[in-house]
Structure 1
């Protein structure tokens, strides 16, 4: 692992640990802010997957999100499943941002500016997480490996076809 990954991953994860601990401590207040988003999200998920055991209570959802963020941030910081943990953090950041930083609903300009700043900060962090989720650390990714296997299979098929034609000619020449 490169030095930049060794340092950058814990730095990226730290914002989630701090935010998630705060969410656990203040889950009641945050649940009130999150309710419009959780109601929409829970409704959508229950329509898509009716048997999903998803709680309706916004406070419980805030706590679950915080626990997921702590676990994924710890995994990212320690380099255990960094691509998966970055993807999980990215998925959890979207509803968190939409629930917590609704600058378009702010009444006064100072609050609007502050919420807008946090919204775009989270958007920037999301970009970093997307980069981390796609980082193969210099090793070939799944898409490259799939293309390589397909290319090798085509080459082998051509080779087998040429060999089969040559053998057929030899057999024909021996028979005649």
Structure 2
């Protein structure tokens, strides 16, 4: 792991870990803020109504997910999956924060815009972390090269099998010629 990754991952993760702990501590008070976002999700995906009906539980799950994924990202374990989870939870948090922020005054609008840009920046950072392969080839590259190698091996195996079949054919013809006497 490079020095940049050693420093950057915990720095990105720290904001999410603190946000997750805050969400866990105040899940009851943030539940009303989640309600409009979850209602919109329920309209789009009606089968999610069973899950989105309990705003406090959803808030706790979001907080716990953020804490766990932030810890994994910070220590560099399952960092791509952890970053993806953080991107999803950060998107939900951004929607909640933007809808619940005060936009009636000039100062409120500035604060709301600043918070939105900060959240979008963090989402961008974790999206970059989702595609960071840590200097190793990604799964798509590995799968492509595995298929190429398998194709080469199968082609080589085919040539060997044809050679063996030709040798067997020649042996059978020789034995037949010896038996018949031609």
Q: Does 1:165 pair with 2:162?
A: yes
CA distance in 2, matches of 1:27, 1:104: 17
Shift of 1:166: 2.5
Q: Does 1:79 pair with 2:76?
A: yes
**Which whole-Å deviations, capped at 9, do the CAs of 1:82-102 have from their partners, x for residues lacking one?**
222111111211111111113
Contact 1:103 / 1:111 at 8 angstroms: preserved in 2?
no
Contact 2:69 / 2:83 at 8 angstroms: preserved in 1?
yes
Shift of 1:45: 5.7
- 1:25-174 equivalence runs, <5 A: 25-41=25-41, 47=47, 54=51, 56-102=53-99, 106-174=103-171
SS in 1 for 2:137: coil
**Which whole-Å deviations, capped at 9, do the CAs of 1:70-128 have from their partners, x for residues lacking one?**
12112211223222211111121111111111399833343233222222221221121
Match of 2:179 in 1: none
Unaligned runs of 5+ in 2: 175-182
Contact 2:37 / 2:96 at 8 angstroms: preserved in 1?
yes
Larger displacement relative to structure 2 (16-25 or 123-132): 16-25
SS in 1 for 2:163: helix
SS in 1 for 2:136: coil
SS in 1 for 2:77: coil
Higher gyration radius (CA): 2
CA distance in 1, matches of 2:54, 2:66: 18
SS in 1 for 2:144: helix
Contact 2:102 / 2:112 at 8 angstroms: preserved in 1?
no
State TM-score, norm by structure 2.
0.80
Unaligned runs of 5+ in 1: none
State TM-score, norm by structure 1.
0.82
CA distance in 2, matches of 1:24, 1:151: 48
CA distance in 1, matches of 2:8, 2:101: 32
Shift of 1:15: 0.8
